[in-house]
Amino acid sequence: MEDIFKPQSLSIGELFGNKDALYQIPRYQRPYSWGEEQLSKLWDDLREAQQFEPNYFLGSIITAKPEETSNYLDIVDGQQRLTTLLILLCVCRDLYPDINEEILDQDPFAIDASMIKTSIKLNDRFERLRLKTHSNHESDFQELIIKEKNAHQNSKPYKKELRIEQEPKFKFRNSSAFFTEKLQELGKEETGIFINYLFNNVKIIRIDCQSVSFAIKLFQVLNDRGLDLSNSDLIKSFLIGQIHKKYEGDDEVKKQSENRFMDDWKSCEQIAIDTEESMNNLFVMFEYFRLAKNPERSLYDELKNIFEKEDPNEAIKQFKDFINFYKQEIYESKNPVIFSLYYLRWSVYWRTIVTTALYVNYPEYEAFLNMFRRYYYLNWIAGNTLSKIKQTSFNLVGYLKEHKPLAEIRTELNKQLNEEVVNRAIQNLNGDIYFEPWCKPLLFTIEYNQLDNPPYYSMGDRTIQTEHILPRAYTNQEGWEFAKDIPYLEEWIHSGANLTLLSGSKNLNARNYKFDIKIGTYDGTGLEDVEDRKISSFKITQQIVNDFNADKYNKEWNIDALNGRWVWFCLQVEGILEIDLSKIKQNLIER
């Protein structure tokens, strides 16, 4: 009986030089992706081992007999290392075509150019490594690397090109340029010594499996023992294994199904790139959607349990459709309510909930979105942590999938937003809010509420600052002497009555100037930077300018102005969060 798998300890010379050393990277594998960090580590490890170790172990690779009749072995795990080693050999072939020529008669184990060429192509006809991940990838690899006299001519690509994950040709160029530089630094003689060590003393374990399905299972088992494989890699390999299992005995249907799966998988990877998310995070969202409860096991185990009962092609299609809603309706959304959700700490939860509402076509989506934002923001302002909203978040996913009426969902949320939570939120809104993590997000949200089609303001944009209208350092500042007589002013300096939004340059210009000069900064007429002579882009700041021009408060930022701004701030928050602030709205500064 033939073994279902067979491990072999091979030198690099044997790995690429034996008669059965023909490998192909199948379509379901990710494209070549090694960058500077991985290349440097491999090179440093090999050079250090050459100095201090008689032999060096480079890890293992897993191969499998492909489903179709072929002399080539599928690489299930180890494709990045194998591709990188072959690039190294091609660079050496082109750079030093007469390598070790001087010592061939003295050293029976010396590696010459013909042995390197044989390690790249068997009988000068069959490539030792073929890339099936995409037809373009194979042709690029042939032209840039395999073709003689080309590998050492590649220039380093730009960094932006290296970030294009679906175009490995830039990684091919980068790796070949890396090894060209390293081997040139060594020189021909030292490179010959290095290549001898690589071929004869560097070992790798090749585990040959009788089927792709078993190879994938072994791949998963090895990962459970701690190899650095991502959840998305495991999920992909599991689903492909399910395809092989389902269509065992029907190679044509199996191949069609696998091709369809890989088309959908690559679409999902593109969505991940487009939305600046990892596949892992997108799978977490999908896991929460499918479970509608707190997971009890790892991401991979939970999804494996779900997917093993389903058609693998339907499973990946559902995932693709789900995250496509996230991309088109959330990531690319111009909805200001969505904008305001981006500031929340509990990102994976709100994104899952809103994507679920879109995916299941919840009939009262817009009303739900506002109600849901109210629930999250009030909890945030009240100081609640994830533990307080986590279970309710999972419940919301379930309610949306059931198309539970909006009135019933509102009742459930109001139970969670009890009197204690609401009162705590109200108290936290009253007074010092400047140092709260939700202060600027709340000001942004108020700003969005003033406009029909507002732009998105990022918390990471350092050019946008929270401005104190009455300066924090008002003492001994010209034009602000009267402020010393305002009772309890320290309680108002950092409140919603005295805060607005400004661009960084305007905030710098405003500094601690008296109010009429600040207005010149706000509207652009008194700026030091002549190129910045334009009114503030923020409506909530333009309102201060408008009141000044209308002589509403005698062109001063006085007690009446602070009181007026406080009432306005409370009214804005009341409208957005549907909360009664009567208790604090009348807490005005007394003369």
pLDDT tops 60 at residue 225:
no
Q: Is residue 465 part of a domain?
A: yes
pLDDT tops 50 at residue 530:
no
Give the model's confidence band at 54: pLDDT under 50 very low, under 70 low, under 90 confident, else very high: very high
Q: What pLDDT score does 508 carry? A: 58
Average pLDDT rounded to a whole number, residues 414-432? 95
- 27 and 121 assigned to the same domain: yes
- Number of domains into which the chain is organized: 4
Q: Is residue 564 part of a domain?
A: yes
Q: What pLDDT score does 164 carry? A: 73
pLDDT tops 70 at residue 226:
no
The number of CA neighbours under 13 Å toward the Cβ of 235 is 28
The closest alpha carbon to 355, from 287, 273, 280, belongs to 287
Alpha carbon distance 275, 272 (integer Å): 5
Using an 8 Å Cβ cutoff, are 406 and 367 in contact?
yes
pLDDT tops 80 at residue 135:
no
Assigned token pair, 381: 């302002």
Instruction: Say which residue, 199 or 138, is predicted with more confidence.
Output: 199
- 184 and 236 assigned to the same domain: no
Give the model's confidence band at 397: pLDDT under 50 very low, under 70 low, under 90 confident, else very high: very high
Which of 224, 253, 281 terminates a domain? The answer is: 224
- 279 and 211 assigned to the same domain: no
Domain that holds residue 117: 5-224
Give the model's confidence band at 507: pLDDT under 50 very low, under 70 low, under 90 confident, else very high: low
Average pLDDT rounded to a whole number, residues 499-528? 72
pLDDT tops 70 at residue 528:
no
Residue with tokens 């490539």: 127
Q: Record the pTM.
A: 0.73
Using an 8 Å Cβ cutoff, are 500 and 447 in contact?
no
pLDDT tens sequence across 260-298: 999 999 999 999 999 999 999 999 999 999 999 999 988
Task: Give the dihedral sign, CA 499/502/507/509.
Answer: negative
Q: Is residue 188 part of a domain?
A: yes
- 383 and 464 assigned to the same domain: no
Q: What pLDDT score does 400 carry? A: 98
Alpha carbon distance 111, 511 (integer Å): 72
Question: Which stretch of DSSP H or E encloses residue 427?
Answer: helix 419-429
Assigned token pair, 309: 């009962």
Give the model's confidence band at 184: pLDDT under 50 very low, under 70 low, under 90 confident, else very high: very high
pLDDT tops 80 at residue 212:
no
Q: Which residues have a Cβ under 8 Å from the Cβ of 70 and sit 6 or more positions away? A: 24
Average pLDDT rounded to a whole number, residues 452-470? 91
pLDDT tens sequence across 332-348: 999 999 999 999 989 99
Q: Is residue 13 part of a domain?
A: yes
- 236 and 212 assigned to the same domain: no
Alpha carbon distance 90, 216 (integer Å): 30
Q: Is residue 427 part of a domain?
A: no
Which of 332, 362, 383 terminates a domain? The answer is: 332
Instruction: Say which residue, 101 or 535, is predicted with more confidence.
Output: 101
Alpha carbon distance 389, 36 (integer Å): 42
- 169 and 211 assigned to the same domain: yes
Long-range contacts of 257-262 (CB under 8 A, 24+ apart): 257/312, 257/313, 258/27, 258/28, 259/27, 260/313, 261/28, 261/312, 261/313, 261/316, 262/27, 262/28
Which of 199, 224, 249 terminates a domain? The answer is: 224
pLDDT tops 60 at residue 521:
yes
Using an 8 Å Cβ cutoff, are 562 and 498 in contact?
yes
Alpha carbon distance 19, 576 (integer Å): 72
Using an 8 Å Cβ cutoff, are 149 and 94 in contact?
yes
Q: What pLDDT score does 527 carry? A: 47
pLDDT tops 90 at residue 529:
no
- 49 and 81 assigned to the same domain: yes
Alpha carbon distance 80, 531 (integer Å): 51
Terminal CA-CA length for the chain: 98
Q: Which of 186-195, 253-262, 365-374 has the lowest mean pLDDT?
A: 253-262
- 353 and 403 assigned to the same domain: yes
The identity of residue 513, as a single letter, is Y
Sort 519 into a burial class: Cβ within 10 Å, 0-12 / 13-18 / 19+.
Answer: buried
CA angle 397, 261, 135 (to 5 degrees): 140
pLDDT tens sequence across 232-264: 887 988 898 899 889 888 888 988 998 999 999
pLDDT tens sequence across 140-150: 999 999 999 99
Average predicted confidence (pLDDT) for the chain: 90
Q: What pLDDT score does 27 carry? A: 76
- 175 and 275 assigned to the same domain: no
- 573 and 483 assigned to the same domain: yes
Q: What pLDDT score does 487 carry? A: 77
Q: Is residue 424 part of a domain?
A: no
Query: In the beta sheet, which residues pair with residue 63?
Result: 75, 208
- 220 and 138 assigned to the same domain: yes
Average pLDDT rounded to a whole number, residues 438-449? 97
- 297 and 186 assigned to the same domain: no
Q: CA of 442: how far to CAs of 389, 457, 468, 494, 565, in Å?
A: 19, 12, 15, 14, 15
Average pLDDT rounded to a whole number, residues 535-541? 79
pLDDT tops 80 at residue 2:
no
Q: Is residue 95 part of a domain?
A: yes
Q: What pLDDT score does 431 carry? A: 85
Assigned token pair, 282: 């997108």
pLDDT tops 60 at residue 93:
yes
Tell me which DSSP letter residue 469 carries.
S
Q: How would DSSP label each residue in 206-246?
A: EEEES-HHHHHHHHHHHHHTT----HHHHHHHHHHHHHHHH
Q: What pLDDT score does 99 carry? A: 93
Q: Is residue 429 part of a domain?
A: no
